[in-house]
Every structure is written in structure tokens, then in C-alpha cells.
Amino acid sequence: MRLNIGMCFMVLFMATRVNSFVGITWGRQQSQQLVPSMVVDLLLQNKIPALRLMTSANDIIEIFSATNISISITLGHQTFNLVNRKDLAYIWVNDRVKEPVNKGVNIVEVTIGSEPFSRSFFRETAKTYQLMNVIKLVRGALNDMGLGYIRTTTSHGMDVLKLTKIPSEADFRDDIKTLMLESLEFFNQTGTPFLLNMFPIQMVREILECPMEFAFFDNKSEFKIQDGNITYRNAVELMIDTVAWAITKAGYPNMKIMIGQIGWPTDGYPHANIENARRFHKGLLKFLASNKGTPLRPGPIDVFLHSLSDENEFRAIFGAFQRHWGIYEADGNPKYKIDFSLQDRDIYPTQAKGIVTMPNRWCKFDGDNSDKDLVNKYYNFACQEADCTRLEKGGSCDGLSDDSKISYAFNAYFQKEKQKVEACDFDGLGEITAENPSVGNCEFPIEILALQDQIGRDTSISIRI
């Protein structure tokens, strides 16, 4: 594999960084998508220098032209067949990378697949047998088109490792070890970091099975994990060093580890709430600002926070909480205080401007339980079509009465359908109200509109300037 001047510069730049770097991810599986120009505004006003897109985003990518925001795009598993030959890879790179770059988009990375060796998360679509072939084809096309400075990589979760609680015992799973070694060799040749997706809330609860306090940097418990002469008091450092040990054993002790996704959900999982998300990010960003790194990887750490906004159409089969990673609500309101600048200020990030909302109208259940089969039918229908994950165990709406849960489901569908009157019928079981039916921490949302939805609608919508 040849290294051109651009790639050599990229490797040198990464090797000489002295400060931690914080970007953010943006997935767009939402019924209420933020307008891309608003996202650009949010990134610039919050001084977030980099964005990791979870698709190639070819429909919106040009909005980032001349912004100097570093962009990472993703080629998903389901599109591997579009680039599994040299000619196809050239077409894809030309359309999805070179053309945007020529128009001023600062694309710095192409991620091929997402956690392709995961045991569960994307297993059904992960064409692992094609992965390295596709990465090499895309890498070759980039080089030949004068875009050698753009990284090619893939991301991995913690489940590429054998189950262990002690970092020094870490190693890659036997069933994927050959594939992992092949990819590590390629990344080493091209100066590409190991891209790690890590979510401490899951690691602590499901793998380490220890007090949730261990997930936080200001761990208020006595729990710790000892590994030789190293003491770990938080999950983040332990997780990074666990991967570092596996990479070292594979023969690459100096390979950089970049965090491609890290965050804390605010709903749909035990301990997933706004206060814990605020606390986790505050501790994480303070740790990053210190540039001290971990015992095995001292120094700055590059991180992408996950994610910009909630995705209410992300497949709930992977867990209800997967729809609630957003630092922002779908309507562009920040959920909690966070200082992206690493100055540890007690501030809310900039609010999205220009958001268009529907009128203050909700749909609720009329309380008629005389035909329970009919009620259950429409409750299930509403939750199949709209997002009811907040009603699941551990969610912010879990404690609602049965009738209120039905109202939540009816309203979720009503809002998704842009408040169409017929979307609150449910054979006469639904009724439209101007009185907010939210209860405590359980908020009944109101739909926002994308720009294309505004055409032809009445003028009772409101615009936040």
C-alpha cells in the first residue's frame, strides 16, 4: 500500500496534536429532521469543529461547503454491493466524495460500515466478508483521485473483544481475530486510528455488572477495578485501555485510538435521564480538557459525542434507548447544559433558530374502555407507526396510568402525521385537545416541520427566530 504526500501529512498532524478534539455525530432517522442549514448554524455557534454523518448524506452534504467543518461520511453495510468492484468504487468515490470536495466540503474521512463485527447490533446487515475488500477499493480510488489525505476506516464496539473486566486480559474474539488482524495491519500501513464506539452506561450495567457510579468520572462510590499496579475508577479509561491492550497484543502498541461515538441516552434505559447525561458529559469533557489521557494511552484523545439529536425512527429492536442519544431534542432545544469548548462553563449550548412548530394541539384517549380489544388494537397500531419508547420500562413515561399511556401513543401518531384530524380518530377513541396532557417528566411532544412541509399549510404554525 503506497502512502502519498497527503496521507503522510495527515499522519504527522495526528502524531503532533497537543489538545483533545471534540466533534459530534448526526444520524437522521427522524420524522422531525432538523434543517441542515440549522445544523451548520448550531455547529458554528457552538464551535464544534467536526461532524460525523451516519450516512454519505449526499442529499445535504453541499450545505457544509466553505464552513471548514471537518466531515466524516459513512458507507453503510447495505451499500457494500455498490462498491465491491474497482469501477463501482470509483463511481461512488467520485459522486459521494470528490464532487462535494470540489465544491468546498471538507471531507476528512470515509467510514466503511459501522461495527461490522458486532455480535448483535448490525449483525443482520454486516457483510463482514466484503469489508476489507471494500475498504481497499475505496482507499485506492481516493488515492488515484488525489484524495489520499482522506482517511478510510471502520468502527468497532467493545464486543469485538472477549468478555473481560481486566484490561490486561483483553484480546479479540477468536471468531473474528483473523479479520481484525487484517484490518489492523491495513490501518497501521495507512496511519489510520482505531475507531472505537463506546457507551459506558451499557458496559457498566451489562458487562461489568458493577455500580452505575463507575460510569461517571466523579465516581461517588468506593468501586474500582485493579489491574496490576493500575487502579481504574471510571469506565471510560478502563474501556479505552482494554482496547489498547488488545491492539498491543496484536502488534500495534502505538496505534492511535479515536472515539467515534460516546454518549449517554436520556430515556428508554435504567439510569438514562437528563441529569445523568449532563453529569456524564461534564465529567468526560473535563477529562478531555486535561489532555492527560489514560494509563496506557496518555495524552490528548479525539472524541465524537453521540449524538446531535434524537432519532425517533431508529430501529427500536436494538433497544428503546437507541432513539434517545441526542444532546438536542428533535425541536432544536438543548436538553441539558454542556460546554463543547472544553472550558467547563455552566451553560446551555446554542438553541436552533428558525424551527417551525405545529400549533399547540395534542391527541388524547377519550377514556372509553368499554371495548378493550379495540383500545389495545389502536394502542398497538399507534406504537408500531410512531415512537413509544418512552413508555417502556425505565423510560420517562413508564409511570403513566394505562389511560395516559394510550393518550401518549395516540398523540405520538397524531404528531407524526402532522396533526391531521383523521389521525386522531381511532374509531372515535381519540379527541383533539388544546390542553397539554404532559405529566411530570413525561412530555407529550408537538411536531416540528421541515421546510418542505410548510408549503400549503395554514399560518397558525409558529417560527422561532
Q: Is the pLDDT of residue 9 over 50?
A: no
User: 281 with 341: CB under 8 angstroms?
Assistant: no
Q: Report phi then psi at 154, rounded to 5.
A: -140, 160
The pLDDT of residue 10 is: 44
The pLDDT of residue 123 is: 52
SS3 178: helix
Q: Is the pLDDT of residue 128 over 90?
A: no
Convert the pLDDT of each residue in 38-51 to its tens digit.
899 999 999 999 99
- CATH code, residues 360-446: 1.20.58.1040
The pLDDT of residue 69 is: 97
Gyration radius of the chain over CA positions = 23
Higher model confidence: residue 444 or residue 124? 444
Taking the complete model, does pTM exceed 0.85, yes or no? yes
Which part of the chain is CATH 3.20.20.80? 20-326
Least confident among 93-102, 128-137, 452-461:
452-461
Q: Report phi then psi at 284, rounded to 5.
A: -60, -45
Task: Give CA–CA dist 8/4, Å, rounded.
Answer: 6
Task: Give CA–CA dist 35/160, Å, rounded.
Answer: 36
Task: Give CA–CA dist 442/17, Å, rounded.
Answer: 44
User: 229 with 168: CB under 8 angstroms?
Assistant: no
Number of H helices, E strands in the chain: 11, 15
Burial class (CB in 10 A: 0-12, 13-18, 19+), 409: buried
Inter-residue long-range contacts of 247-251, CB under 8 Å, 24+ positions, other chains counted: 247/184, 247/194, 248/296, 249/170, 249/171, 250/172, 250/180, 250/181, 250/184, 251/184
The pLDDT of residue 137 is: 97
How much of the chain is helix, strand and coil, in % rounded to 5? 40, 15, 45
> In Å, how far are 44, 280, 416 from 262, measured between CA atoms?
21, 10, 29
Q: Is the pLDDT of residue 456 over 60?
A: no
Strand 151-156 versus strand 448-449 pairing type: unpaired
Q: Is the pLDDT of residue 100 over 70?
A: yes
Q: What is the mean pLDDT of residues 329-336?
A: 89
Least confident among 14-18, 262-266, 365-369, 409-413:
14-18
SS3 195: strand
The pLDDT of residue 463 is: 38
The pLDDT of residue 198 is: 96
Q: Is the pLDDT of residue 12 over 80?
A: no
Residue pointed to by grid coordinates 456524564: 280
Convert the pLDDT of each residue in 48-80 to its tens digit.
999 999 999 999 999 999 999 999 999 988 888
Residue pointed to by grid coordinates 488488545: 246
Q: How many residues are listed for the chain in this entry?
A: 465
Q: What is the mean pLDDT of residues 100-115?
A: 96
Return the axis-axis angle of helices 86-93 and 131-144, rounded to nearest 10°. Answer: 60
SS3 459: coil
The pLDDT of residue 18 is: 63
Q: What is the DSSP string of 22-73?
A: EEEEE----SSPPPHHHHHHHHHHTT--EEEESS--TTTGGGGTTS--EEEE
The pLDDT of residue 352 is: 82
SS3 152: strand
The pLDDT of residue 127 is: 62
Sheet holding 448-449, edge to edge: 448-449, 356-357, 462-463
Which part of the chain is CATH 1.20.58.1040? 360-446
- CATH code, residues 20-326: 3.20.20.80
Taking all residues of the chain, what is their mean pLDDT, rounded to a whole number? Answer: 90
